[in-house]
Each structure stands twice: as C-alpha cells, then as structure tokens.
Amino acid sequence: MKSFKIISLSFLTMISAATYAQEFDANLQLRPRFEYRNGYKNLMPNGENATSFVSQRSRINFNFSQERLKTKLTIQNVRTWGDVATTTAADKNAISVFEAWAQYDLSSEWSTRIGRQVIAYDNQRIFGEIDWSQQGQSHDAALISFHPKNHQLDLGVALNANAENLLEPKTPYTTNYKTMQYAWYHTQLNKIGMSLLFLNTGYQFQKTPTDLAVDYKQTFGTYLTFKEKKWDTNLGIYGQSGKTATKKVNALYAGAYVGYAFTEQFKAGLGHEFLSGKDQDDSSLDNKSFTPIFGTNHALNGFMDYFYVGNHQNNVGLNDTYLKLNYTSNKWQFALIPHYFNAPSIVLDTDGSKMNAYLGTEIDFTTTYTVQKDIVASAGYSQIFGSSTLERVKNLTNAAQTNNWVWVMVSFSPRIFTLK
C-alpha cells in the first residue's frame, strides 16, 4: 500500500507541475477465482484425490498521457488464498511489475514504445496476453510502429539476461528467450483482414559444461479474417524452421473457423486446428512439433489445458475439431464448446504396436453475468473423456474414469479516478 501511495503522489506531482494538455487515470482490478481440479491439465491417476483452491489477481493500472507522450504502469500481486499465514510480515509473491512502458508518437503515423509491455496480435495464437492466467504475460521489449490508414507495421526487438553480468555467463543459461525480433503487418481490404508475421527467437542452451550457445527458431505465416453481416471466418497458416538446442526445426500449423449468427442472440461456428507432431517411431533428431511460442493457448484446444499450456511440447501434435455455440440474453452470456481430439502422428503402445489416433473428447460450458459495468461474474464446467491413447501420450497407465474441472470467478474493475 505504501508503494501505491508513493506512485500515485509522483503522478499527481507531474500533473500539477505541467501546464499543457494531459490526462491521468487509475483503475483497479481484483479477480478472485475458485477452482475444483479433478483431472485438470492431465488425467487423474486412480487413487488420487481432487483439489480445490482460490487464487486472486490484484492489479492497479496508472495511465498518463500528454501531447505525444503516453505511459503505463501496472503493478500486481498474484496469490493463492492461504499461501501465507494470517500474521505474516511478508507476502509470498510480493508485488511485481506487469507493464511499465513509455510511448512517444513521432507523428500521426509513426510511434515507438519501450519497456515491459503486452504483445498480442490477431487471435493470439502466436502472440498473446494469456489473460486467463492470473499473472498474465508481458515482454521487456522495444517497438516501433507505422500505422497509416488501413495499414499497420510493427517491428519489435528484445534482449534478455539473467542479471547485470560483468562477463558472459558460462552457466546457468537464461530460462526466458535470450533474444527476439519480429515484424507484424496488418491491412484491411474491405471485409478481408490480412496479417503477416515473422518472428525470430533465440534460446540459450548448455552446449558444453562450460559453454553456452544460442539457437534461433523462426515462426512465420499469415492470419486472414472475413466478416460480412452474419458471417465471421478466419484462417491461419504458420510454419517453423531453424534450430532448437542443435536440433533442426520443421513444423507446421493450420487453423480455420467458420461462424454464423443465426439471430442477434445465437451464434454457432465450426473450426479445426492442426499442429504438426512427430511419429513416436521416427528416429530422426529433427523437431517436427509445432510450438505456439507466446500464444494464449488456454483459449484454444479446450479449457482444461491438456495441450500446449506448459505441456505437450515436442510431442505427437494435435488435430482439434470443435464446435462453438454462443447465446446472449440481456446481461447473460452462455457458451458450449465440444472438442474432438486426434493425434496426427503415430502413437506407440508399450509393446510397440500402433495405437488408435483418437485422443478424447472435451466439453466446455461457460456462463457470464454482468452485474454492472465494472463487476462481472463468470463460471465454467469442463469434462474430458480421454482414450487409452491419451493415457499413453500423458504417460499414465491407470487413469480415473472421471476427469472434470469447475471454476467460479468474479472480476471487479472500478476506475479509481481520472484527471484532465
């Protein structure tokens, strides 16, 4: 709280000292969430018990702008209820900086931004905020943007280190990416939106006991959208090349979705995603499994997070066919999303025989109620019906028959004050 007061007073001092047009606002987000996990992220082993807990995000956002300058500072605390004693003198996770950036508009078409910031584009398949995660995702990066009418070109760079070193470290390596460069271009052609992305990420690895090296992986592709009256469709195609820890990368992603609004309240859509993988009888050293890099993967491939949410990397890939049903009524929103999962690559049983490609079916149901403008309550229930092939992919031999997940969340987002 003392830190909040100091930061607030600093901003107020800047405002009172200046004599030209400026604006400052502060807003708060408190987001407690209850979860019941009985097979979340992985099939529940027989004999184990489900768990439940409450996590909470507490954020405060400061936004300041004057003429060509814009700044943002977001600080947050992420906690699990009970992770420290009621009489503790210090918090377990303390306070962290989620965003801290400054943006300067060089002209009406050019701007630059530097500092810790959210990088999110298109449907967030490759770059995303991961807002479902209580801590979210942000990058320390520098960005220059060119944005004339109907066009936008963003160029970004980042360089990470584990400390302010005097010499290049021999060990340990940087667990985050070491370096990143990307170019993202978007244009709107009537009802068609087109984005092009090229991303180069360099990851450190321990080449020898006393030598670190960096290998670079490239992710590139396009994302297309088409919206007309009741239709809402998109198509994404991405490839990956380069190296990861001396292994060649050769992977592919393709996803498509077609949605239609039958009424103002009811919408339905059908989609499919393919993420390449590697056959388990493939003896090559190449990495053929597509990695969504910084994507908001919780929003895709099922809310139970069995795939690509800190798991299923360098694996057999995924085919995900899904249906989206959405209904809105006044302050209520309802969504039902069934998923049908298959492995596009060969999965071998313990005896070396090929297994059925079917991984399982997941059903996700969510509901949201807007209490008022800055209070939103939401809840969800998900259940997955996993196959023996999924057990094999998840390295389990005796999974429980019932695997489900329940959550309830309330988000409070009041604006504290605004000064102009």
Domain segments of the chain as ranges: 20-419
409: its two tokens: 């969340």
Residue entry with tokens 């901003």: 11
pLDDT given for residue 10 in this prediction: 52
For 93-100, the CB contacts below 8 A with 24+ separation are 95/3, 96/135, 97/73, 98/59, 98/74, 98/135, 98/136, 98/138, 99/61, 99/72, 99/73, 99/74, 99/138, 100/72, 100/73, 100/74
For the segment 99-118, the average pLDDT, to the nearest whole number, is 98
For the segment 372-396, the average pLDDT, to the nearest whole number, is 96
Measuring CA to CA, how many Å separate 58 from each of 37, 81, 150, 394, 413? 23, 12, 36, 34, 10
pLDDT given for residue 12 in this prediction: 53
Q: What is the pLDDT of residues 276-308, one digit of tens each?
A: 999 999 999 999 999 999 999 999 999 999 999
pLDDT given for residue 398 in this prediction: 87
- Give the CA radius of gyration of the chain: 23
pLDDT confidence band for 264 (50 / 70 / 90):
very high
pLDDT given for residue 279 in this prediction: 96
* Assigned architecture for domain 20-419: Beta Barrel (2.40)
Average confidence score pLDDT of the chain? 93
Angle CA 366–54–76, to nearest 5:
95
What's the full length of the chain, in residues?
A: 420
Say what percent of the chain tops pLDDT 90. Answer: 84
Q: How many CA atoms lie within 13 A of 248 on its CB side?
A: 4
For residue 42, pLDDT beyond 80: yes
Inter-residue contact 225 to 193 (CB < 8 Å): yes
For the segment 180-201, the average pLDDT, to the nearest whole number, is 97
For the segment 368-394, the average pLDDT, to the nearest whole number, is 97
